Amino acid sequence: MSEKTLFQKIIDREIPADIVYEDEFCAAFRDIQPQAPVHILIVPKKPIPRVGDAVAEDQAQLGALLLAAGKVAEAEGVRSTDKGFRLVINQGRDGGETVPHLHVHLLAGRPLEWPPG
């Protein structure tokens, strides 16, 4: 069996993190180096390395990430359109991926620039 990813260890409570949401398919916890007042990572329990590696059988896992994002945004008080949030998935070197376990960044709590840097 391959070694657990960092985020699997967080989901399994082997490494501490501020877990704010969990369901059958995914968990969400605060980023250790927040880039905005609200910065939460939404992570599938299945260790899909990155979005480009997902396959058809991962459809429920992938859908669960976006449904969880809405719930987390609501819980953080940023779901309404007068506030709002941004979801980001980084893949590979140019995308800025550093942890090879798929995750959606939920960023909120300040105006976010577009295009991103």
What are the residues binding ligand 5GP (CB under 6 A)?
A: 6, 17, 29-33, 41, 90, 96-99
Sign of the alpha-carbon torsion through 17, 21, 22, 27: negative
Residues paired with residue 27 on neighbouring β-strands, in sequence order: 22, 43
Identify which of 87, 117, 85, 93 has the alpha carbon closest to the alpha carbon of residue 105. 87
Task: Please identify, using beta-carbon distances, which residue of 64 and 107 lies nearer to ligand 5GP.
Answer: 107
Output 58 or 97, the one with its CB closest to ligand 5GP. 97
Q: Establish whether 101 is a catalytic residue.
A: no
Residue 6, token pair as written in the block: 């960092």
Nearest distance in Å: CB 108, ligand 5GP: 14
Q: Known catalytic residues?
A: 103
